Chain A
Amino acid sequence: MQTVTETKTKRNIMSSAQPDDPEHAAALLALVATEQSRQAFSELFRYFAPRLKAYATRQFGNEQTAMDLVQETMTNVWNKAHLFKPDRGSASTWIFTIARNIRFDFLRKNKHRQHDLSADELWPVLAEQNESLDDDYALDDDLLMQQLAVYCEALPKAQRTVIELIYVAGKSQQEVADALGIPLGTVKSRTRLALQKLRELIQSDD
Chain B
Amino acid sequence: MIKFHPSEEHLFHYVTGDLSPAMLMMVGTHVDMCSQCQRHVQHIEEDLAQKVFGQRQLPAEFAAANDSFADDAMLARIMAQAPQPTSMVMDKSPTELVLEGKRFQLPATLARNHHRIGHWHKLIGQMWRAPVQISGEDVLTFIYMAENTRVPEHTHKGNEATLVVNGVFNDETSEYRDGDFVFLDGSVKHTPQTRDEDCLTLAALDAPMHFTSGLSRLLNPFSSLFFK
Contacts and interface: CB of A to CB of B under 8 A. Distances in A.
B56 interface: yes
Contacts of B100: 172, 174
A45 B72 CA distance: 9
Contacts of A47: 53
B45 A54 contact: no
Interface string B67-87: 001000011011101011101
Contacts of B102: 170, 172
B24 A93 contact: no
A20 B56 contact: yes
B105 to A, nearest CB: 10
B135 A115 contact: yes
A170 B45 CA distance: 39
Interface in A55-92: 55, 67, 70-71, 74-75, 78-82, 89-90, 92
Contact of B17 (A70, A104, A127): A104
Given A93-B46, A95-B49, A124-B90, A117 B79 contact: no
Contacts of A122: 17, 24-25, 28, 109
A78 B74 CA distance: 12
A68 B135 CA distance: 25
Contacts of B108: 124
B89 A128 contact: yes
A128 B84 CA distance: 12
Nearest to A114: B135
Query: Which size bracket describes the interface of A in this complex?
Result: 35 or more
Interface string B134-178: 110000000000000000000000000000000000000000000
Interface in B90-116: 90, 100-103, 108-109, 112-113, 116
Query: Which size bracket describes the interface of B in this complex?
Result: 35 or more
Contact of B49 (A92, A107, A128, A130): A92
Contacts, number: 138
A131 to B, nearest CB: 13
A115 B116 contact: yes
Given A54-B58, A100-B15, A122-B24, A117 B134 contact: yes
B88 A128 contact: yes
Contacts of B24: 117, 122
B173 to A, nearest CB: 31
Contacts of B214: none
A113 B135 contact: yes
Interface stretch (A1-9, A36-44, A141-149, A194-202): A36-44
Contact of B112 (A53, A93, A124): A124
Contact of A36 (B59, B69, B83, B109): B83
19 contacts: A38-B79, A41-B78, A42-B79, A47-B53, A48-B53, A49-B69, A71-B78, A78-B81, A92-B50, A92-B52, A92-B54, A93-B46, A96-B49, A104-B17, A107-B17, A117-B21, A122-B25, A124-B108, A175-B101
Interface of A: 18, 20, 36, 38, 41-42, 45-55, 67, 70-71, 74-75, 78-82, 89-90, 92-93, 95-97, 99-101, 103-104, 107, 113-117, 119-124, 126-128, 130, 166, 170-175
